[in-house]
Structure 1
Amino acid sequence: MRKVPLIPTILVVAAALTMVGLGIWQLQRKAQKEALLASYAAAQTLPPMSWPAVPQKDPLPLFRTATANCLKVAAMRTAAGQNVKGEPGFLVIADCVTGAEGPGVSVELGWSKDPNAGRDYKGGLVTGVIAPDSRSRMRLVAATPGPGLQASAPPSPDSIPNNHLSYAIQWFLFAGIALVIYALALRRKWREAGNG
């Protein structure tokens, strides 16, 4: 009778089960991401809103049209981005004060090849689309570019990746490969033991 080593078998099976569990988790994340993307697509059809006066909790109102009043520019910054033609360059972002209290608003004024462009922006009423922002969680992408800037690429839910299915498939494949390799190693060990 061929003997199966207990500890290595337990370790390999446990590892394979963990990988299968991770694959199932990725499938659940896929369903959650699809629901989130559907809500973002629906947000594009909602009526315009005023910029939130208090910090937003999840879910953020991303991809919805909004209006904000930049009372004063507190800081200017840039981020890598594209214009409406898809050319790479710099997105010029103004971090604004909206009142004595509140979260303020980050306004993406537009795009330029020059990172110092648009620095003469003084604020005012801005209408645009709410997009994700790595620093302030969300920013308002101005529908009309600021002085000396071109329109930046409009934000779209299509830019958010949903690659959870491919991750799930990878985890299932890793589990299968681990089991196949272990089975081949056992077979070789048994063959060598039979020939010895």
Structure 2
Amino acid sequence: MKRGFIFPTLLTAVMLAVLIGLGTWQLQRRIWKADLIAQLEAAQRLPLLTPADYFRAMTGEISVQYRRAELPCTPGKVLPYDLKGGSSAKDVSGYLVLVSCGPAGKSPDIVAVAGWTRRPDAAQVPIDVDTTFTGLIIERPYGDAPGRPQFMLIPDTAVPPLTPSRLPSPADLPDNHLSYAGQWFGLAIVLAVIYGIWLRRRLRWETVAAAPSAS
């Protein structure tokens, strides 16, 4: 192969390998996402969480995402722990009012959503949370932020005057990996076509250039 063909051919080969690899990775991610959704759907049918389950989750031994749990909360009137953006059961945007059911002043391992509100100042309004929350567990609602709760319980009900918040569903997880894979494979096809057109023209030019001129 002549020197003028080597670099474009190697560059095209590398780019094709990358594009095909990305497309294949997205197909693998789609299989992983389907398995994850199935696991989360099955988690909701498991027995209620026990203290041992929480401990195993905190040590990273198991995941309790979307498991059902109960959380007794009897501190009387308290200020909310925090507000987080979220939706009501009727899918209206607003704020989730989080409360801590542990000792006052102690950083909680778990918080509960007392309910949903449209009021951005709800964190300054005391509420009476003398109840037992029952609902779904969300792991790491604050990511890896230090000193933040590792679990958040989203109950089926709400503390008046708040209204119920929207329960999460495994179906909410985006599953667009097939379209992404199609995009990467499509780019690979386009690149191969462009290279084929370039190669054909280059070979034609080389042939014309090498032909003896008429006397």
Shorter-chain TM range is 0.7 to 0.9
Aligned residue among 130, 133, 138 for 2:137? 130
Structure 1-normalised TM-score?
0.81
In the alignment, what sits opposite 1:120?
Answer: 126
Identify unmatched segments of 5+ residues in structure 1. Answer: none
Which letter does structure 1 place at the counterpart of 2:9?
T
Q: Is the deviation greater in 112-121 or in 19-28?
A: 112-121
In the alignment, what sits opposite 1:63?
Answer: 66
Alpha-carbon distance between aligned partners in 1 of 2:61 and 2:113, rounded to the nearest angstrom: 21
* The structure with more radius of gyration: 2
In the alignment, what sits opposite 2:109?
Answer: 104
Give aligned pairs, total. Answer: 196
Identify unmatched segments of 5+ residues in structure 2. Answer: 143-148, 210-215
Alpha-carbon distance between aligned partners in 1 of 2:32 and 2:115, rounded to the nearest angstrom: 32
In the alignment, what sits opposite 2:145?
Answer: none
Aligned residue among 200, 204, 208 for 1:187? 200
Identity over aligned residues, as a percent?
Answer: 33
1:1-196 to 2 correspondences below 5 Å: 5-50=5-50, 52-54=53-55, 55=58, 57=60, 59-70=62-73, 76-97=81-102, 104-117=109-122, 119-121=125-127, 123-124=129-130, 125-135=132-142, 136=149, 138-193=151-206
Report the RMSD for the aligned CA atoms in angstroms: 3.1
Alpha-carbon distance between aligned partners in 2 of 1:116 and 1:15, rounded to the nearest angstrom: 53
Tell me the alpha carbon deviations over residues 7-55 of structure 1, each in whole angstroms, 9 at most, x when there is no partner.
Answer: 1111111111111111111111111111111011111222222465432
Alpha-carbon distance between aligned partners in 1 of 2:139 and 2:197, rounded to the nearest angstrom: 48
> CA 1:92 to 1:84, structure 2 compared with 1: closer, same or farther past 3 Å?
same
Indicate the structure with greater strand content: 1
Structure 2-normalised TM-score?
0.75
Contact 2:71–2:134 (8 Å) recurs in 1 = yes
